Amino acid sequence: MNKQSIFFTIAVSFIISIILVIVSFLILITHSYKINEMMIFDKYEHVIKSAMKQNKDFYDERFLERLKELNYIFIDDINEINSVTYNIQTKVLAQRVHPKNRDILRILKLKEKNYIYIKSDRRNLTFLIKDEDSNEQEFENTTIYIILVFAILFITIILVYLITLRKLMPLKILKDKVKTLGDENFDFECCNSNAKDEVSLLAQEFKKSALKLKSLKEARNIFIRNIMHELKTPITKGKFLTSLEQNEQNNEKLKSVFNRLESLINEFASIEELISSNKNIEKKFYYLDDVIDNAKDILMIDDIHVLSKYENKKIEVNFKLFSIAIKNLIDNAVKYSVNKEVIISNKEENIIFENEGKELVYPLEKYFEPFFSNEDKSKDSFGLGLYIIYNILKANNYSLVYEYENGVNRFICKKDEASTI
């Protein structure tokens, strides 16, 4: 195991905690036993002192009477003594042995009664004193409380350790999943998605990042796969025109092919920039007229094809990218209109493009797919128009809405409500 890992640190901390708890328990139990022993001897001190002065041949009558008054029973019958001292149920509450003469003093307990056991080989003396009013429950309760407290503490430490391991387990899984990112493995499940602790939230955020990487990879795969296909047409046309006789008409056609090729490459670069920046683009306020003029300059279209009926308001957008989106909307509107005109108007923060023509064959969302094209191949469409428009508008907090009414196509760049708050 890695000694610098969190799991190793937690395991070592757990072991040290358990050892400290056990050591503390043993110290406290030993101390408690000694305290109880002292309290028991203190209780019977006056009886023990008098008993130690007795002689086997002569027991002081006043001593015996005093014992009766205090509800003690004096026992010197050896059989009765042995029935107590050798009984397996007898517990030794306290014991002392004289260091010199080896006299033995014990406090015994049998059937809830305490016995004072005194044996002196020096004086050939052995007897028991039974306490009829024994009540040593408080001494036992102290030990029980100590055991109970440490048992609870011990169980608590184990539970905390297990819960901590369970909570940190997603980290271990997350570490293994991070290693697989280099192999482009972006799919994984590592924890309860409903959990709200920091580790689970970290794993969930990592999962979101992995899904974004997966989406980015798939998008770029689409570009690589389709760019090669789409570039074949203008390149083939260019090669064909170069083989023809050099004249002004062919040169213009060749120039047109390369202009379209350059436009396509610029659009590729723009959408790549949009995806790579994860849609965190810089936006500023610009006049709508400036954005539309820039779009027309990029498209190189005559003003007669674009009818402006908009109020020149300020809009918060990325100038370069939003101009490309407007350019594509104008281009599509003019290209597919019956009169080769587009009308641009606005309502509040929404920008509207209208043209006369046929209704879209498929739902608008279908045209958002990269390189989607309908059956009409007569138009010079490279299949990225609405895909680029959709992504640029989304990055600028706009959405595209389509309406068709009385032979008029209406594309609305609608400002998202959340962004206007």
Element holding 18 (H helix, E strand): helix 6-43
Question: In a 3-state reduction of DSSP, which class is residue 205?
Answer: helix
**391 close to 271: Cβ distance less than 8 angstroms:** yes
Tens digits of per-residue pLDDT, 216-254?
Answer: 776 666 666 656 655 665 666 666 666 666 677 767 777
- CA dist., res. 122 & res. 96, Å (int): 16
Residues constituting the chain? 421
Element holding 199 (H helix, E strand): helix 198-243
Tens digits of per-residue pLDDT, 305-350?
Answer: 999 999 999 999 999 889 989 988 998 899 889 999 999 999 988 9
Q: Along the 421 residues of the chain, how does pLDDT read in single tens digits?
A: 567 777 788 888 889 988 998 898 888 888 877 887 788 888 888 888 787 777 766 677 788 888 888 888 888 888 988 898 898 988 888 888 887 778 888 888 888 888 889 888 777 788 888 888 776 555 566 778 888 888 898 899 899 888 888 877 777 777 777 776 666 666 666 555 566 667 677 777 777 777 777 777 766 666 666 566 556 656 666 666 666 666 777 677 777 767 767 766 766 666 666 655 555 688 999 999 999 998 988 777 888 999 999 999 999 999 988 998 998 899 889 988 999 999 999 998 899 999 999 998 888 888 887 656 555 544 444 355 687 788 889 889 999 999 999 999 999 999 987 655 4
- The DSSP 8-state label assigned to residue 359 in this structure reads P
Q: 310 — alpha (psi -120 to 50), left (phi > 0) or beta?
A: beta
Dihedral sign for Cα atoms in the order 147, 149, 153, 155: positive
- CA dist., res. 160 & res. 66, Å (int): 58
DSSP H helices, 244-348, are 248-276, 288-299, 319-335
Indicate the residue type of 110: L
Would you tell me how many other CB atoms lie within 10 Å of the CB of residue 55?
A: 10
Q: Which of 256, 262, 227, 260 is nearest to 241 (CA)?
A: 256
Q: Burial code of 14-44, b = ≥16 C-beta within 10 A, e = fewer?
A: beebeeeeeeebeeeeeebeeebbeebbebb
Question: pLDDT value at position 337?
Answer: 92
Tell me whether strands 104-110 and 91-97 are parallel, antiparallel or unpaired.
antiparallel
